[in-house]
C-alpha cells in the first residue's frame, strides 16, 4: 500500500508532464498557422552567394491544409515562374505527430531533411533542429530553421544549410505580408 502512495503521485506527474509537452507543441503549431498567406521580403545569405545577389525579394507561400493538420511552406524568388527545370521552389511541410512538432524540407538538393521543434523559449519563436534525413547528401542539406513572429504582418525566417564538408550557410528572411 505504501508503494501505491508513492507511485500514484509519480504517475499523475508524468501524465501532467506529457500533457504540458503536447500543449507546447500544439501552441507552436497554432502560432505557425497564423502565418498562412503570401509573404515577401529580402533575404541575406552568409556567406554571400553570387546567384542570390540580384536584389530580388523572396516570395514565401504558407498554406494551412489537410483540415488544419499540416502547413505547406514554399519558397521562390519573386517574379520567377513555377518552372522546376530552371528555378528552385523547395517546399517544407510542418505537422504534429503526437506531442512533437515536425518539419520535413523537400529540398532542390534531392533530399528530405527532417527536423524537430525545440521546446519554445517564448511565444514568438519556433526553432527546429536536424533529426534525420532521407535521400543523398552529395550537395548538402537543410540543417536548422527558426520562425520568429514579429506581428500579424511581419515575421522572420532563419534557415541554415549544411554544405558539403559541414560548412554552414545561413539565410535570413525579413518578410511582410504580400498585398
Per-residue model confidence as pLDDT tens digits over 12-64? 444 444 444 447 999 999 999 999 999 999 999 998 876 655 566 899 999 99
pLDDT tens readout for residues 148-176: 999 999 999 999 999 999 999 999 999 99
pLDDT value for 82: 74
Give the residue with greater pLDDT, 73 vs 53. Answer: 73
Give Cβ neighbours of residue 20 (< 8 Å, ≥ 6 apart). Answer: none
The answer on pLDDT for 8 being more than 80 is no
What's the CATH code of the domain at 8?
2.40.128.20
User: CA geometry: angle at 159 spanning 104 and 34, to 5°?
Assistant: 70
Containing domain of residue 114, as a range?
A: 2-177
Strand partners, 101: 96
C-alpha cell at 124: 514568438
Number of domains present in the structure of the chain: 1
DSSP3 helix / strand / coil % (the chain, rounded to 5): 20, 50, 30
Q: Residues 83-89: what's their mean pLDDT?
A: 75
Query: Greater confidence, 123 or 112?
Result: 112
Give the percent of the chain with pLDDT over 70: 83
pLDDT of amino acid 51: 61
State the average pLDDT over residues 89-93: 94
* pLDDT the model gives residue 12: 41
Amino acid at each position: 500500500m505504501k508503494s501505491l502512495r508513492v507511485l500514484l503521485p509519480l504517475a499523475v506527474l508524468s501524465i501532467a508532464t506529457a500533457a504540458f509537452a503536447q500543449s507546447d507543441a500544439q501552441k507552436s503549431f497554432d502560432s505557425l498557422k497564423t502565418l498562412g498567406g503570401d509573404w515577401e521580403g529580402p533575404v541575406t545569405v552568409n556567406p554571400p552567394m553570387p546567384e542570390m545577389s540580384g536584389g530580388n525579394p523572396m516570395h514565401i507561400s504558407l498554406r494551412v491544409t489537410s483540415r488544419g493538420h499540416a502547413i505547406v511552406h514554399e519558397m521562390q524568388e519573386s517574379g520567377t515562374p513555377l518552372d522546376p527545370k530552371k528555378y528552385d521552389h523547395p517546399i517544407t511541410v510542418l505537422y504534429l505527430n503526437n506531442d512533437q512538432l515536425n518539419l520535413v524540407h523537400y529540398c532542390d538538393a534531392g533530399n528530405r531533411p527532417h527536423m524537430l521543434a525545440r521546446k519554445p523559449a517564448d511565444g514568438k519563436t519556433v526553432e527546429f533542429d536536424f533529426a534525420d534525413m532521407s535521400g543523398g547528401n552529395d550537395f548538402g542539406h537543410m540543417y536548422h530553421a527558426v520562425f520568429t513572429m514579429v506581428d500579424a504582418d511581419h515575421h522572420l525566417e532563419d534557415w541554415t544549410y549544411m554544405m558539403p564538408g559541414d560548412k554552414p550557410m545561413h539565410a535570413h528572411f525579413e518578410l511582410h505580408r504580400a498585398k
